[in-house]
C-alpha cells in the first residue's frame, strides 16, 4: 500500500469515527498515544459505541463520557489522528457550542484528582521520549548479542555501535529536563540545562560541608525536581522583570538561583528519594522472591488499563541510572505475555468472526510488546479472559523473579525485549515468556468465557 492509499484509508476511518461520536460539534479535542485515539467530548450521550466497534480497523473502545479512547494500534493511530485533526480544523466548532464546551472542559479540569494530574504530567514528559529510548535500547541490545555471538568488542564497528546505542542514556537527564520544563511552562532549554547541572563531571571537584558532589546523583527523580523548580522560578521571576531586559535577566536569575538550590538542596534530597525508590523494589524482590514477581506481573495489566503504569517509567530509568540493570522490566513484561496466551485461547474457542478478526489483528503487536489492542479489544470486553491473562502473567513473573533476570536498557516488552536482556540471561527470559504464554492460554481455556453472539445472527433472529 502506497502513501496516498494509506492517507485515504486513514481519512475514511477518521470520518466514520467522527460520525459515530456525534459529529464535529461534539468533539472538543483530539490527541493520541502509541495505540489509542483520544477524543474529548462535549456530550457523552451522543456516542454510539456499538457503531464505533463495528468500524473496520477499530480494535476496541474504552473511556468515560467526557473522554473516549478508541484503540487502533501502533502506526495506524498516528495517521488517523492526523486526519482527524484536519477534519476538526476544516469545520470549526460554532461559538455557542464552543463556549459551552470550554465551560465543561473547565469543570472537568477541576474534577481531576491530584494522582491523575501527576500521572498525566509524567506521561506528557516521558511518552515523547519512548521512541528514542526504544531505538537506543535496541541498538545497545543487538550490539551485546553480536558480542555474545563472537564479534570483537574492541573492533571499530562494535565501538561505534556502543556509542550509538548507549549515547542517549548518558545524556538522558538533558532530554527529561527539556520535556519537564516544557510541560511545566518553563523554557525547554533551561530544563535541558537542569539536566546538565546534575550530570556535569566537573561537580565531582566541588565539596559542600566536606562532602563531594556526585555527578548523576538523584538521577531521573533529580531532573524532574530541578527542571520543575526552575520552570516555577522562571515564571515568577518573569513577572517582576521589565520586558526590555527579560531575555537577559530572567534566564540568568533562574540559572543562578536554580544552580545554587540544586547543589545545596534538590540534589541531596533527590538522591535520598532515588535510593529509597530503588531499594524499595529491590527489597521487595529480595524478600518476596517469586511471590513478589507474581504479584507485580499480575497487577500490571490493571495498571496499563488505568494508565497508572506511567508512574513506573521513572522507576525503570532510575534502576538503570543507579544499577545499570533493571530487574523490574522483565517481570512486568510478563503481563503482555499472559494476555497473548489468553487471546490465543479466545481465538481458538470463539465462533464470533468479528472477535476472531480483532484477535488476529492485535496478536502480532501483542507479541511485540504492545498490549493495549488486546486489552481493550479482546480480554477486557470479554471479562474473564482479562483476569485469566493476569493469572498467566503471574506464572511468568514468578519465574523471572526467581531467576533474577535483568534488562540492560529500556524498550518495549514481549519478544523484542530479549535483545535488551543481559546476554547470559536471554534463555531464562524467553523461558519465562513461554511460561506466561502457556499459563495464560491454559487458564483461559479452562475458565472459558461468554462467546459474543454474531450481530448478524441477532438481527435475523425472530
- Three-state SS for 70? strand
Q: Tens place of pLDDT for every residue, the chain, 462 residues?
A: 566 777 788 888 888 888 888 887 778 888 877 778 888 887 777 777 778 888 888 887 876 656 788 888 777 888 888 888 888 887 665 544 444 445 444 444 544 567 667 777 777 788 788 788 878 888 888 888 888 788 898 999 999 998 998 888 888 899 999 999 999 989 999 999 999 999 999 999 998 888 888 888 888 889 999 999 999 999 999 999 988 899 899 999 999 999 999 999 999 998 888 888 888 888 888 888 899 999 999 998 888 776 667 677 788 888 877 777 889 999 999 999 999 999 999 999 998 888 888 888 888 888 888 777 888 888 888 889 999 999 999 999 999 999 999 998 777 788 888 888 988 899 999 999 999 999 999 999 999 988 887 654 444 444
Q: Where in the chain is the domain with CATH 3.30.1360.60?
A: 3-111
122 by DSSP, 3-state: which?
helix
Q: Which positions ≥6 away from 377 have C-beta within 8 Å?
A: 59, 60, 71, 358, 359, 362
Please give the class, per CATH, of domain 3-111. alpha beta
Taken as a whole, the chain contains a residue count of 462
Q: Who's near 311: CB < 8 A, 6+ residues apart? A: 118, 119, 122, 303
- For residue 137, what is the enclosing H or E element? helix 130-148
Rounded Cα–Cα distance for residues 172 and 222 (Å): 12
By three-state DSSP, how is residue 3 classified? helix
Residues marked active site are found at: 33
Amino acid at each position: 500500500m502506497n502513501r496516498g492509499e494509506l492517507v485515504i484509508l486513514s481519512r475514511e476511518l477518521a470520518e466514520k469515527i467522527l460520525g459515530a461520536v456525534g459529529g464535529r460539534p461534539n468533539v472538543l479535542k483530539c490527541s493520541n498515544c502509541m495505540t489509542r485515539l483520544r477524543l474529548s467530548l462535549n456530550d457523552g450521550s451522543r456516542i454510539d459505541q456499538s457503531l464505533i466497534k463495528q468500524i473496520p480497523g477499530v480494535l476496541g473502545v474504552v473511556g468515560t463520557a467526557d473522554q473516549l479512547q478508541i484503540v487502533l494500534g501502533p502506526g495506524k493511530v498516528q495517521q488517523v489522528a492526523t486526519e482527524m485533526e484536519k477534519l476538526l480544523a476544516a469545520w470549526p466548532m460554532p461559538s455557542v457550542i464552543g463556549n459551552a464546551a470550554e465551560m465543561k472542559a473547565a469543570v472537568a479540569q477541576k474534577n481531576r484528582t491530584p494522582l491523575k494530574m501527576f500521572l498525566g504530567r509524567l506521561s506528557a514528559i516521558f511518552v515523547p521520549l519512548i521512541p528514542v529510548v526504544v531505538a537506543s535500547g535496541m541498538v545497545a541490545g543487538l550490539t551485546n548479542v553480536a558480542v555474545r555471538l563472537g564479534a570483537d568488542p574492541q573492533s571499530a564497528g562494535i565501538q561505534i555501535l556502543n556509542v550509538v546505542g548507549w549515547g542517549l542514556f548518558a545524556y538522558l537527564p538533558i532530554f527529561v529536563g527539556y520535556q519537564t520544563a516544557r510541560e511545566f511552562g518553563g523554557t525547554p532549554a533551561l530544563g535541558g540545562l537542569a539536566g546538565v547541572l546534575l550530570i556535569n563531571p566537573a561537580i565531582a571537584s566541588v565539596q559542600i560541608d566536606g562532602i563531594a558532589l556526585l555527578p548523576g546523583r538523584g538521577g531521573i527523580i533529580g531532573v524532574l525536581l530541578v527542571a520543575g523548580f526552575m520552570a516555577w522560578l522562571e515564571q515568577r521571576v518573569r513577572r517582576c522583570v521589565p520586558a526590555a531586559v527579560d531575555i537577559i535577566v530572567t534566564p540568568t536569575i533562574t540559572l543562578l538561583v536554580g544552580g545554587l538550590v540544586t547543589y545545596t538542596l534538590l540534589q541531596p534530597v533527590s538522591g535520598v528519594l532515588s535510593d529509597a525508590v530503588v531499594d524499595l523494589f529491590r527489597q521487595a524482590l529480595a524478600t518476596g522472591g517469586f511471590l513478589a514477581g507474581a504479584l507485580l506481573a499480575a497487577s500490571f495489566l490493571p495498571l496499563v488499563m488505568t494508565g497508572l503504569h506511567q508512574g513506573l517509567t521513572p522507576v525503570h530509568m532510575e534502576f538503570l541510572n543507579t544499577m545499570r540493570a533493571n530487574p523490574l522490566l522483565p517481570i512486568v513484561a510478563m503481563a503482555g505475555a499472559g494476555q497473548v496466551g489468553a487471546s490465543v485461547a479466545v481465538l481458538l474457542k470463539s465462533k464470533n468472526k468479528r472477535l476472531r478478526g480483532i484477535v488476529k489483528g492485535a496478536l502480532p503487536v501483542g507479541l511485540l510488546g504492545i498490549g493495549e489492542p488486546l486489552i481493550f479489544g479482546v480480554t477486557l470486553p470479554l471479562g474473564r479472559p482479562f483476569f485469566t491473562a493476569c493469572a498467566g502473567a503471574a506464572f511468568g513473573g514468578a519465574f523471572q523473579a526467581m531467576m533474577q533476570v535483568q534488562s540492560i536498557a529500556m524498550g518495549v516488552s514481549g519478544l523484542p525485549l530479549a535483545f535488551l536482556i543481559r546476554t547470559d540471561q536471554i534463555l531464562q527470559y524467553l523461558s519465562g515468556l513461554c511460561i506466561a504464554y502457556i499459563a495464560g492460554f491454559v487458564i483461559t481455556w479452562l475458565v472459558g468465557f461468554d462467546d459474543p453472539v454474531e450481530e448478524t445472527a441477532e438481527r435475523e433472529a425472530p
